[in-house]
Amino acid sequence: MADSDTGPVPQPGLDRMVDFRSGPVLAAVVPDQNPLVVVTAARLAAAVGQSVVQLAYVDTSRYTVEEFPDGSVHHAPLSPDADVEDWHRVRAELETQIGEVLAGSGTSWKLWYLAGRPDRSLTHLARVLDASVIVIGTRHSRGGHRFGELLEGSVAGHLAHHQHRPVLTVPVETIDWKDWRTPWRR
């Protein structure tokens, strides 16, 4: 049920501040992601006394059919021609990548496979888990990513404006100010 169905959307405030030790650290992951995001989330979880870091991948080629009270979802492909089992391969690849990144760290983790819009899916899971913070990596500055982000907005920006939890953005690539260009000035 959407917040608007139950009353006004809860606003950030001193009375709603999150104690970082009170809930899990939730991090957004994507295939072939820079390991800085997962390692940052794992170290933050350990620093605030959480024994497990919660990791979530949102498959934008699928949509959510049903959300369950535990945070998991039943999902289906957007395209009727899609391989209905392709998501199992993606999940297995993510599990392998995360396992390699966190190997030997002593960090326990759980991967959630979600579908649809990343900001909405991550917000829903954060509410269900009562996460204390959402960790997300920045996008690469190459190609059309910056132009798309300019038009659609960033996932981190949407998260920061549509729920009360803090959003920790992990830079995975920096650009020297002297080299910075807008999408229309290449």
What's the structural domain count of the chain? 1
Q: Which range of residues forms the domain containing residue 124? A: 17-142+152-170
Q: What angle is formed at CA 60 by the lines to CA 40 and CA 44, rounded to 5 degrees?
A: 10
Question: Of 6-15, 78-87, 176-185, which has the strongest mean pLDDT?
Answer: 78-87
Residue 178 lies in a domain: no
For residue 163, the domain's CATH number is 3.40.50.620
Q: Name 157's Cβ contacts closer than 8 Å, sequence gap at least 6.
A: none
pLDDT tens string 108-150: 999 999 999 898 899 899 999 999 999 998 865 554 444 444 4
pLDDT, residue 48, reads 93
Higher pLDDT, 146 or 84: 84
What pLDDT sits at residue 4?
A: 45
In this prediction, residue 83 has a pLDDT band, given cuts at 50, 70 and 90, of: confident
Does 68 map to a domain?
Answer: yes
Q: What is the mean pLDDT of residues 88-116?
A: 95
Query: Collapsing DSSP states into helix, strand and coil, what is residue 97?
Result: helix
Indicate the angle between helix axes 36-47 and 86-102, nearest 10 degrees: 60
pLDDT at 49: 93
Which pLDDT score is estimated for 91? 96
Q: Is residue 164 part of a domain?
A: yes
**Which pTM was predicted?**
0.79
Of residues 61 and 4, more confidence is placed in 61
Does residue 183 sit within a domain?
A: no
**Residues 65 and 74: beta-carbon distance below 8 Å:** yes
175 is a domain residue: no
Position 147 in a domain: no
What is the mean pLDDT of the segment spanning 92-120?
Answer: 94
156 in a structural domain: yes
pLDDT at 14 (0 to 100): 79
Averaged pLDDT for residues 156-182: 73
Is 84 a domain residue?
yes
Pick the closest to residue 38 from 26, 49, 50, 51 (CA basis): 26
Model confidence band, residue 163 (pLDDT cutoffs 50, 70, 90):
confident
